[in-house]
Amino acid sequence: MRFSLTPLASALAALALAGCNSGDKTNDIPEGTTLELAVLSTTDLHQNLLSYDYYRLADLTGSGTLGLAATASLIKAARAENTNTLLVDDGDATQGTLLGDFQALAQPVACSQTLAIYRAMNSLGYDAGGLGNHEFNYGLPFLSQTLNADLGVAGVAKPAGTCGAPNYPVVNSNVNSASSGVPILPPYVLLDRNYVVKLPTGENATLPLKVAVLGFVPPQIVDWDAKSLAGKVTVTGVVEAAQKYVAEARGKGANLVVALSHGGLDASTYSPKMENGSLHLTTVAGVDALVTGHSHLIFPAAREPNAPKLDASLAALPAATVDGSKGLVNGVPTVMAQSWGRRLGIIKLTLMWQGGQWVVQKDKTTVESRGLAYTDGTTFVTPDPAMATLVDAEHQATIAYAKQPLGVSTDFEMSAYFALVGDVSAIQIVNQAQIDYVKTFLANTTDTTLKGYAGIPVISCSAPFKAGRNGAGDFTDVAPTATPAAPFALQVRNPGDLYLYGNNNIQAVKIKGSDLKAWLETSAKQFAQIDPASSATQDLVPSYSTIYNFDVFYAEGNALTYQVDVTKPVGSRIVNLRYQGQPVADSADFIVATNDYRASGGGRFPGIDGSKTIIKSPDANQAVVAAYLRKQAGLTRGVNGAGRSWSFVKTATAGPVVLRSAPGKLAVAQGLGLAGVTAEGSVDASGYARYTIDLSK
């Protein structure tokens, strides 16, 4: 069947016809007909719907506005500006905020439910989406259910029936089922769209366009999520996948090919192992537009007034390949819309019918990574109020979850007010959790090197992370009312108080006794050198700026003990370092449970620079603490808060020594039996109370 081109008046008829037979209707398209299409893209949304920080329970609306509700307003504006649009997402949509963890881990969505982020995206009319590496964080069964897709992976069964899922196709072309070798999702989709075109006569008409959309993830997913992916899926390089499937899609009649590459731009020689291989996709014949992500950058350079400059890593790419101002890579229009819904990628393509096919007019293509304050650089768009209504139930449930009981009570106040004079009530539990994790890890390892470490003592260190760094109110104080008679039920968010830095992963290092001494000496740098003969007031801890580097060590049963002589200069303050009652020899071996920050050199502890790391784990210290707390029947001071591993060498001073802490906490010190804290003094200009410390007690 053939049909004639129709001016807009008969466009409806064409639309109707396009649905039943797309045969060779393009034969009659007049040479020179043009089609303008805006490919709109989001990337790395990371489950940010509303501008909200669930850990701090804080609304970020204002200069901190982000999230899809705000991006929705950009989408609306772009649709108003462009007759023909296609909306796509480049992955990393489902993980990132507490809302994501809540729906995946704490209270996993049932098959009948749709993830909040997908419900929001469904409401916006996405045309297609790709995966990001974080889509694999929650495992393949969860991915299968939430995409309502049989991944074809042995042992991963999609729940029966139709599960809640995106209402648009989700594609990926470089992850295959290990059991079958077949892609776990459709490698690409062919979208039949009808778009308004301009005929050479100047009249409008409507014509079908077959758009192929492909998706790619970094091959590193099999390492990053090895626990859930090893042996189940295999990955290929992005170029190899593109070479195969772009040609296939073209063979099936694709007029336009859009690649959704969840990776950044790296100009190094191509390797199928590279993490950010997007740049090389522009060398694959047939790719017309490239949507990138993963590195959370803005490409091309932002255009709003007072916009940030193009990121240095992008500016350093060879100019012959990458035009960071126009958004072209090897001539292929390329965009990256930062992250968390803060930008919308807009690739405006002009296609011209030339010699029997649609040809992208590169000189008429524009690319923009449009920010939420795109009009004047300061006024943020108003988030779409409908979105807040749409996801309100999930939003409220997440907030309630943060405040929900963790399932364990404590019979003592866990605070950091006096952590610098020996109290461990908020630190010991972290150390106990870390030791438990590392011992369990070593007990279950199949690694022959690690097995050889059986018998080496596992000890742990952690710091009072919230101990005055951000002012007199910034001290950990979990369960201030707790007593044995009235224990306090810990909440889901409390592990975040006990272990502040949610970015840390647990690691273990293997060190010598000499390293341990040097480590403790470095921790002890936090103390001023006290002159016992001075009659002046001396501040025991002059600055709290790097208090996260005050590592307090602990071994089970409080078997590791040491003393700090603050009258001595930095580097010679640690004395009486003992393990199980015996002095620690320089040659003794220890395995220390800590975090990746410290293990890789954070705080500049001698010799601790990544070279002694023996265990690396994808598990957050915060999650390790939470899991350990959940395993306990109840926390008691005797078992979890009184294991004071260190004390000061007793010293009489002529003048007063003071410790700055939150005002009104003398009773806390007394309750802890800290005899050295003798009085609460005046409050200084910054709001800290100055407690008198008697170092002779």
Partner 1 sequence: MKPVACFALLPLALLLAACAPEPPRQSAEVESLGMQAVQTHDAAALRRLSAWAQAPGPFAPLAARELGLALAADPARHAEALRWLAQAAHGGDAEAAFTLGEAYRSGGLGCRHDDVAARRWFERAAEADHPAALLALARAARNGVGEPRDMGKAAGLLLRASRRGSGAAMYLLSQAYAAGEGVPADPAVARHWLEQAAEQHHPAAMQDWALALEEGRLGVPPDAQAAREQWREASEERRNRWR
Distance CA 229, CA 184 (A): 12
Query: Based on CB atoms, which residue is closest to partner 1, 239 or 258?
Result: 239
Q: What is the DSSP letter of 412?
A: S
Query: Based on CB atoms, which residue is closest to partner 1, 202 or 452?
Result: 452
Minimum distance between the CB of residue 210 and partner 1, rounded to whole angstroms?
Answer: 30
CB atoms within 10 A of CB 34: 15
Contact 480, 491 (CB under 8 A): no
Minimum distance between the CB of residue 614 and partner 1, rounded to whole angstroms?
Answer: 8
CA quadruple 53, 55, 58, 62: dihedral, nearest 10: -30
Minimum distance between the CB of residue 472 and partner 1, rounded to whole angstroms?
Answer: 17
Q: Residue 671 class from Cβ within 10 Å (0-12 exposed, 13-18 middle, 19+ buried)?
A: middle
Tokens 């300061």 -> residue: 378
- Altogether, the residues listed in the chain come to a count of 697
Which of helix, strand or coil describes residue 207? strand
Give just the sign of the alpha carbon dihedral 415, 417, 423, 424.
positive
Q: What angle do CA 135, 291, 93 make, to 5 degrees?
A: 25
Query: Based on CB atoms, which residue is closest to partner 1, 232 or 644?
Result: 232
Minimum distance between the CB of residue 593 and partner 1, rounded to whole angstroms?
Answer: 15
**Both structure tokens of 559:** 């078997």
Tokens 């272990």 -> residue: 499
Minimum distance between the CB of residue 612 and partner 1, rounded to whole angstroms?
Answer: 9
Q: What angle do CA 455, 460, 463 make, to 5 degrees?
A: 170
Q: What is the DSSP letter of 102?
A: I
Minimum distance between the CB of residue 329 and partner 1, rounded to whole angstroms?
Answer: 18
Query: Based on CB atoms, which residue is closest to partner 1, 100 or 641?
Result: 100
Please tell me whether the peptide bond between 300 and the residue prior to it is cis, using omega within 30 degrees of 0.
yes
Distance CA 298, CA 447 (A): 42
Minimum distance between the CB of residue 284 and partner 1, rounded to whole angstroms?
Answer: 12
Minimum distance between the CB of residue 488 and partner 1, rounded to whole angstroms?
Answer: 27
Minimum distance between the CB of residue 679 and partner 1, rounded to whole angstroms?
Answer: 31
Query: Based on CB atoms, which residue is closest to partner 1, 408 or 498?
Result: 498
Write the CB contacts of 192 (distance below 8 Å, at least 6 apart in sequence).
Answer: 18, 22, 208, 209, 210
Residue 672: how many CA atoms within 13 Å on its side-chain side? 28
Minimum distance between the CB of residue 283 and partner 1, rounded to whole angstroms?
Answer: 11
Minimum distance between the CB of residue 234 and partner 1, rounded to whole angstroms?
Answer: 4
Query: Based on CB atoms, which residue is closest to partner 1, 457 or 602?
Result: 602
Which of helix, strand or coil describes residue 536? coil
Query: Based on CB atoms, which residue is closest to partner 1, 610 or 638?
Result: 610
Strand partners, 324: none
Strand partners, 130: 171
Distance CA 661, CA 521 (A): 23
Q: What is the DSSP letter of 667?
A: H
Query: Based on CB atoms, which residue is closest to partner 1, 272 or 513?
Result: 272
Minimum distance between the CB of residue 623 and partner 1, rounded to whole angstroms?
Answer: 10
Minimum distance between the CB of residue 607 and partner 1, rounded to whole angstroms?
Answer: 5
Minimum distance between the CB of residue 621 and partner 1, rounded to whole angstroms?
Answer: 10
- What are the residues binding partner 1 (CB under 8 A)? 46, 63-64, 95-96, 133-134, 137, 178, 219-220, 222-224, 234-237, 239-240, 269-273, 296, 311-313, 340, 448-449, 452, 501-505, 545, 596-597, 600-602, 604, 607, 609-611, 616-618, 620
Query: Based on CB atoms, which residue is closest to partner 1, 138 or 418?
Result: 138
Query: Based on CB atoms, which residue is closest to partner 1, 3 or 224?
Result: 224
Write the CB contacts of 232 (distance below 8 Å, at least 6 apart in sequence).
Answer: 140, 153, 154, 155, 156, 177, 178, 179
Query: Based on CB atoms, which residue is closest to partner 1, 219 or 641?
Result: 219
Query: Based on CB atoms, which residue is closest to partner 1, 51 or 410?
Result: 51
Query: Based on CB atoms, which residue is closest to partner 1, 502 or 571?
Result: 502
Amino acid in the structure at residue 350: T
Q: Pairing between strand 538-539 and 657-661?
A: parallel
Query: Based on CB atoms, which residue is closest to partner 1, 62 or 251?
Result: 62
Query: Based on CB atoms, which residue is closest to partner 1, 407 or 610?
Result: 610
Give just the sign of the alpha carbon dihedral 463, 465, 470, 475.
negative
CA quadruple 139, 143, 145, 147: dihedral, nearest 10: 180
**Both structure tokens of 341:** 């819904």
CB atoms within 10 A of CB 286: 16
Minimum distance between the CB of residue 56 and partner 1, rounded to whole angstroms?
Answer: 9
Query: Based on CB atoms, which residue is closest to partner 1, 272 or 422?
Result: 272
* Cα Rg of the chain, angstroms: 30
CA quadruple 468, 472, 476, 479: dihedral, nearest 10: 160
Minimum distance between the CB of residue 52 and partner 1, rounded to whole angstroms?
Answer: 12
Distance CA 280, CA 618 (A): 29
Nearest CA to 70 among 343, 297, 293, 304?
A: 343
Distance CA 650, CA 697 (A): 6
Nearest CA to 287 among 344, 347, 339?
A: 347
Distance CA 260, CA 122 (A): 18
Residue 212, CA distances (Å) to 39, 165, 249, 376 in order: 12, 21, 6, 35
Minimum distance between the CB of residue 242 and partner 1, rounded to whole angstroms?
Answer: 12
Query: Based on CB atoms, which residue is closest to partner 1, 23 or 610?
Result: 610
